[in-house]
């Protein structure tokens, strides 16, 4: 995996990923930024949410669950002093579908957390990770 990050100005950067995609990052005004793009740590959190949602959806689809939606709300706490690592991350999954089996949801989240999601497993080295979930029944 590769990525190139280029400084634009102030504390604004653009990243080009190895797969050819680009994204911007910026800092808060009090740090010299213009608040025009996500902070790098926000992207780390968002990437972790995407990683686990990917796993959970794949596992549920393979389990033939009638999933119609998946949303993961992430809330994180960071250390007060440098390095300001994540110290706690809460993942709340909202899985929508028809006649979803709670044990399948729980299993999918557990497999992602313990085996497949590289991002959350890596962040779990510094952060206490918590998972909650709910099923939202969708009408037929």
Is residue 140 pLDDT above 80, yes or no? no
pTM: 0.93
Task: Give the pLDDT score at 87.
Answer: 98
- pLDDT, one tens digit per residue, over 58-100 is 999 999 999 999 999 999 999 999 999 999 999 999 999 999 9
Q: Is the dihedral of CA 49, 123, 74, 35 positive or negative?
A: negative
Interacting residues of 112 by C-beta distance below 8 A, sequence separation 6+: 51, 52, 55, 56, 59, 120
Q: Where are the beta strands (DSSP E) in the chain?
A: 3-9, 12-17, 22-25, 66-78, 86-98, 128-137
Rg (CA), the chain: 17
Which domains does the chain show, CATH number per domain?
A: 1-38 (2.20.25), 40-137 (3.30.300.20)
Give per-residue pLDDT as tens, 26-62: 999 999 999 999 999 999 999 999 999 999 999 999 9
């Amino acid at each position: 995996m590769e990525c190139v990050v280029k400084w634009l100005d102030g504390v604004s950067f653009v990243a080009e990923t190895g797969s050819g995609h680009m994204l911007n990052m910026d800092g808060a005004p009090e740090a010299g930024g213009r608040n025009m793009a996500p902070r790098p740590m926000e992207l780390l959190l968002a990437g972790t949410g995407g990683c686990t949602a990917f796993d959970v959806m794949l596992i549920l689809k393979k389990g033939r669950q009638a999933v119609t939606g998946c949303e993961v709300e992430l809330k994180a706490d960071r250390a007060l002093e440098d390095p300001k690592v994540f110290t706690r991350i809460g993942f709340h999954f909202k899985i929508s579908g028809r006649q979803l089996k709670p044990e399948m949801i729980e299993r999918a989240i557990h497999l992602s957390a313990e085996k497949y999601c590289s991002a959350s497993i890596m962040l779990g080295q510094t952060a206490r990770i918590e998972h909650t979930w709910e099923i939202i029944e969708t009408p037929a």
